[in-house]
Amino acid sequence: MAEVTVFVEQRSGQVKRAALEVVAQGRGLADAWGGSLEAILIGTDLDDAAAKVLPLGPDHVTLLEHPVLSDYSVEGFTQALSGYVARTNSLALLLPATAMGMDLAPRVAARLRVGLASDCISISSGPDRTMEAVRPVFSGKAMATVRFSSARPVMATLRPNVFPPGEPVANPAGKITKKTPELDETKIRARLTGIEKDQSGEIDVKEADIVVSGGRAMMNSENFGIIRDLAAALGGAVGASRAAVDAGFIAHQHQVGQTGKVVAPKLYIACGISGAIQHLAGMSSSKVIVAINKDGEAPIFKIATYGIVGDLFRIVPLLTEKILKLKAE
């Protein structure tokens, strides 16, 4: 039995960065408990993905492969993951707080009849192999420390970009094992019929180290060009406030906030965003926050690391120009 189990999210064989962060935290928790770590991947043709995970320190990498799991299905993945974890009697199960992780984790917790701490920004080992987790509540205005009952495994989803990924080792000692999960295919009622990929090639805000966001002050979709230029110069992603998305300036996939995507990049630049609590809930965990707004009393300045009061249509292009100049030197 592995004391700590982590779910490793992969799409088409590509392991998500958020999953690597979860592996690193699982390794730390297992070490604190003096136990072992097992990483679980679900799908088909997972050999290459497993080879990327093994150097990060798990003692066991288990591949749950089945033809009906070639594409993500919440009902199929729930059966596979909950059934396997129930048989192993693991003490803890960690997942990334991605779209997939947040869809899967509550169903698995319900199957296992255990509690779940979601969107955690910190986990720590307690006495007697217990765990404490810290998660934002009330739209990020407060932090709750969560302790678990005696039911096992304890479960948590970890916010992406908050935890560092582990450092790979040259000669990993872990083992890779393939298993076929027992599935009731009649209970997998939803099937994937097709995938429409974003052809823009833009970075997803949830996975970016740098995010440049625009708000209602952008006034139209054409003006978002200066946001895209700055994001491109920095190698970052383009974000937006709900007001900008609702106004039709940019697609919903760019929305950051309580009703959009929660991000925690190393650098977040908010351009023309006043700082409504719903937006702050989605980006307040960013390491460095730069706010650009002509209103010096805007709430965004209360949480900003650096603030610039002025016209974003003059400041943002100047920043882009300076950054490109520095990169060229």
DSSP string, 82-127: HHHHHHHT-SEEEEE-SHHHHHHHHHHHHHHT--EEEEESEEEEET
CB within 8 Å of 294: residues ≥ 6 apart: 217, 309, 310, 311, 312
The C-alpha atoms of residue 247 and residue 257 are separated, in whole angstroms, by: 16
The answer to whether domain 210-328 has CATH 3.40.50.1220 is yes
**What is the predicted pLDDT for the residue at 165?**
86
- Predicted confidence (pLDDT) at residue 198 exceeds the cutoff of 70: no
| pTM metric for this prediction | 0.82
Band the pLDDT of 199: cuts 50, 70, 90. Answer: low
**Per-residue pLDDT tens digits for 18-44:** 999 999 999 999 999 999 999 999 999
Which region among 29-33, 194-198, 294-298 has the lowest average model confidence (pLDDT)?
194-198
CATH class of 4-187: alpha beta
**What is the predicted pLDDT for the residue at 214?**
96
**What is the predicted pLDDT for the residue at 193?**
81
Domain ranges of the chain: 4-187, 210-328
Band the pLDDT of 7: cuts 50, 70, 90. Answer: very high
Query: CB count, 10 Å around CB of 67?
Result: 9
Quick check: do 4-187 and 210-328 share a fold? yes
Q: What is the mean pLDDT of residues 171-176?
A: 88
* 116 CB burial (10 A radius; 0-12, 13-18, 19+): buried
**Per-residue pLDDT tens digits for 77-116:** 999 999 999 999 899 999 999 989 999 999 999 999 999 9
Q: What is the mean pLDDT of residues 52-76?
A: 93
The C-alpha atoms of residue 18 and residue 164 are separated, in whole angstroms, by: 9
